[in-house]
Amino acid sequence: MQDHRMASRERLVTVKEFARIPDDDHRYELVEGRVIRMSPPGSRHAVLATRIARLLDEHVEALGLGVVMTSGGFHLASRPDTVREPDVAFVRAERIPPSGVPDGFWPGPADLAIEIRSPGDRRSEIAAKVNEYLGRGVRLVWVVDPKARTITVHRHDQPQLVLEREATLDGGAVVPGFICPLEKIFK
């Protein structure tokens, strides 16, 4: 998640302008109108994101709970605009518009945002992103640390919970019935 901010004197970018950035094989987020280029996450990160998305999606799909996404931006704020892209996200079925999943950025927050730490990520950057997610309406955030083999669970107005070793990850009221041993994620 290490970012490379563009020059601070540039004018602020809107979500519409951000959506038109050409695909150049880099990941970007829009934070308060400023485009941030994200460092490539690496292979272990990609494997974990795929595994978590698969485990979560199998459960969500079986129960018709909503949708799981691996590379979709969430339009979290306007004026200035913010679009964040969690590594994996879940949105409840009742929040999917009658017309279906939108083509562009999701309007509003995910219900669950999952961030996977990369070697270059600073704890302060992760903490800021978690606080932003929770402050913008995300109900549950999981921060996955591949090196420490832990998952830190964040909920609004509750102390964080660090899961390790033989612990079990639980989706609680956000993803009802989702229970997964950490060993299945970090195998």
In a domain, 98, yes or no: yes
- pLDDT number for residue 21: 85
Q: Could you list the residue range(s) of the whole structural domain that residue 119 is in?
A: 41-185
For position 52, what pLDDT does the model report?
98
Asked if residue 12 belongs to a domain, the reply is no
Average pLDDT over residues 113-120: 91
Residue 59 lies in a domain: yes
Would you state the structure tokens that stand for residue 127, as one six-digit string?
A: 């903490």
- If one counts the domains in the chain, the total is 1
Q: What is the mean pLDDT of residues 40-66?
A: 94
Number of H helices, E strands in the chain: 4, 14
Q: What is the mean pLDDT of residues 98-108?
A: 92
Question: Quick one: pLDDT at residue 2?
Answer: 46
pLDDT of amino acid 3: 47
User: Residue 4 has what pLDDT?
Assistant: 45
The DSSP code for 103 is: S
Model-level pTM?
0.89
Cβ atoms of 164 and 186 closer than 8 Å: no
Q: What's the CA gap between 28 and 11, in Å, rounded? A: 17
pLDDT of residue 1: 47
Average pLDDT over residues 104-127: 92
Q: What is the pLDDT of residue 9?
A: 56
Query: Are 78 and 31 in contact, with CB atoms under 8 Å apart?
Result: no
Q: Please tell me the predicted confidence (pLDDT) of residue 157.
A: 87
Q: What value does the mean pLDDT take over residues 169-173?
A: 96
Q: How does residue 7 score in pLDDT terms, banded at 50, 70 and 90?
A: very low
**Is residue 78 in a domain?**
yes
In a domain, 29, yes or no: no
CATH of the domain at 154: 3.90.1570.10
pLDDT of residue 29: 86
Average pLDDT, the chain: 91
Taking 70 as the threshold, does the pLDDT of residue 24 lie above it?
yes
- Confirm whether 73 is domain-assigned: yes
Give bridge partners of residue 116 from the DSSP assignment. 144
> Using 50, 70 and 90 to split pLDDT, how confident is the model at 74?
very high
| Structural domain includes residue 32 | no
pLDDT at residue number 71: 81
Please indicate, yes or no, if residue 123 is contained in any of the structural domains. yes
